[in-house]
Structure 1
Amino acid sequence: MKKLWVLGVGMMMTVAGMAQQLSVATFNIRLDVASDSPNHWKNRKEKVVSQVLFHQWDVLGVQEALPNQVADLKAMLPAYGFTGVGREDGDNKGEFSGIFYKKEKLELLASETFWLSLTPTVPGSKSWDAAITRIVTWAKFKHKKSGKIFYHFNTHFDHIGQEARRQSAHMLLQKVSSIAGNTAAIITGDFNAKPQDEPIRIIVDETNPLHLTDAKVLSKTGHYGPVGTFNGFGPKGKDEAPIDYVFMKGKWQVLQHATISQTWGGRFASDHFAVMAVVMLGK
């Protein structure tokens, strides 16, 4: 009888642990561009949605999502809430770096967007040598079953301006610290930078108390799938190194980490692969 009781308690603890797991992903879905021809959004949106539904991501940061793409995903993912604004006007113009989340599992407590510029509260602003307006959208969530609170920051760094990329990395660390404080945070995005590039070296610099940690490094089961995350709609990944990341801040356990490289008859859902991690918030 005692053995059965211990077994029952163990099973309950396992189920409770699974209930507190979160599946997190970042996905640059490629903006809607007519010149993409066979890879146009109208031919890809079902593929993007099918990945979300198959992997059952609890929280998903998307990049390059234009207003019509956000509208499509909202309509096709009714179980998900969404938060975010267009980067050009702080409303519905330009690309979003928004966050989708499972409404049944997570409660949205607060959300805002800031601009990666010298005037972060001014919509549409850009600074330094940035080629394009860039933003960070953040959300504060409560995990409904456990009551645990965490933050999710989602971004898309500039692809050209070296100073902008350097300053964006520093600003991201400062903002995560000032907004989330000691509360655990997930940071997702297309950073347009490989691990050896300056923005990523700044972000993961362990000599800086504000640093973040790549979820891949923390994964208890290593990494699954390609290492590179950009495919360019080609027959295979173009790079051997990632530019899309899931970073962690705080007491997280990372159970799994993967790059999702599914194809449909040789066609990709986007010119980037989604990157995901299965995580658990520690005590």
Structure 2
Amino acid sequence: MTPVPDPVPAPADRRIVTYNILYEGANPEHPWEQRRAGVVAELERLSPDIVALQEVWLNQLTAVQSSLSGFSWVTVEDTQQHTPIAYRTEVFDLETWGSFWLVPPGSEPGVPGWDAAYQRLVTHATLRDRREGVSLTVMSLHLDHEGPRARREGVALVRDRLGDLPGDVVVVAGDFNCPPGSPTHDRATADREGQPPLRDAAAVADSHEGPAESYTGFGPSDEPANIDHLLVSDGVAVERAVTCVPLSESTRPPSDHRPVFTDIRY
């Protein structure tokens, strides 16, 4: 399978990458020490302006940070679980950032919400495009892999929070653990009064490239699935939506997920 893509973004585009890099220790047959270089190589090859990562332990975050130049990072540093956002400093200025847990209102932060197997943290950043003057709010999320209610309630909470955040346009990026057409994906993209509408970038892109599945697993027992998405608000033109085949996927895959990106204009 041919790796996708290579062209750098057009000068007028902004490229946003979402990538679940798999927690260290999650698969002993594919240790982080053997995957780290591949993850960094993919991020460098794709030449993003914004990166949203999932499944990142602190030492993995430190390793990626030290290997990518020209970026600043926003993440909560007092927790083991990270859904960090990186932005290219020559392109964006940081206006504000924060995080929140996907739990029912009034629940203790940092615990699994609803029927989730694990606690889930969302990171958000509002960035000012230095050339365009546009304010862009980006979210990095990782919905639960086991709890269907947790996924549905999680995206509802994300939609609610977006209404309280600044930003002329919005991009929600991450591992949704569900495909298009699922109840969670439908809820994430449904028109809701008082909330900014969201569209799946892959569904509205002028060009959609790459394989159908973003999750590959590491072997024949793992069922590939299209579960990593980028959602965009009105006012965002999607030039390309791409699921990328890593250069080393056939020999030493960097993760059990492929990176996904979109090139946007606003």
- Same fold by TM-score greater than 0.5: yes
Query: Of Structure 1 and Structure 2, which has the larger fraction of its residues in helix?
Result: 1
Alpha-carbon distance in 1 for matches of 2:193, 2:162: 13
Alpha-carbon distance in 2 for matches of 1:120, 1:267: 44
Task: Name the residue aligned to 1:144.
Answer: 130
Compared CA separation, residues 20 and 227, structure 1 to 2 (3 A): same
Question: What are the Cα deviations for residues 66-122 of structure 1, in whole angstroms up to 9, with x where unaligned?
Answer: 00000001110121111011xxxxx33322011011111111111100111124896
SS in 1 for 2:113: coil
Q: Which amino acid counterpart does residue 204 of structure 2 have in structure 1?
A: L
Q: Which amino acid counterpart does residue 24 of structure 2 have in structure 1?
A: D
SS in 2 for 1:124: coil
Compared CA separation, residues 34 and 173, structure 1 to 2 (3 A): closer
Task: Name the residue aligned to 1:229.
Answer: 214
Question: What is the total number of aligned residue pairs between the two structures?
Answer: 256
SS in 1 for 2:219: coil
Q: Over aligned residues, Cα RMSD in angstroms? A: 2.2
Compared CA separation, residues 208 and 261, structure 1 to 2 (3 A): farther
- Listed as ranges, the gaps of 5+ residues in structure 1 are 1-16, 86-90
Alpha-carbon distance in 2 for matches of 1:236, 1:225: 22
Task: Name the residue aligned to 1:187.
Answer: 172
Query: Which of the numbers 15, 24, 48 marks the counterpart of 1:32?
Result: 24
The TM-score normalised by the length of structure 2 is 0.89
Residues 75-154 of structure 1: pairs in structure 2 closer than 5 A? 75-85=66-76, 91-119=77-105, 123-154=109-140
Task: Name the residue aligned to 2:239.
Answer: 255
- Listed as ranges, the gaps of 5+ residues in structure 2 are 1-8
Greater Rg by CA: 1
Residue 23 (1) aligns with residue 44 (2): no
The TM-score normalised by the length of structure 1 is 0.84
Query: Which of the numbers 60, 77, 80 marks the counterpart of 1:69?
Result: 60
Task: Name the residue aligned to 2:6.
Answer: none
Task: Name the residue aligned to 2:227.
Answer: 243
Q: 1:154 deviation in Å?
A: 0.9
Q: Which amino acid counterpart does residue 117 of structure 1 have in structure 2?
A: V
Alpha-carbon distance in 2 for matches of 1:201, 1:233: 28
SS in 1 for 2:90: coil
Residues 42-57 of structure 1: pairs in structure 2 closer than 5 A? 42-57=33-48
Alpha-carbon distance in 2 for matches of 1:244, 1:52: 16
Question: What are the Cα deviations for residues 132-186 of structure 1, in whole angstroms up to 9, with x where unaligned?
Answer: 11011000001112221111011000111222112111111111122146x2011
Task: Name the residue aligned to 2:4.
Answer: none
Identity score, percent: 26
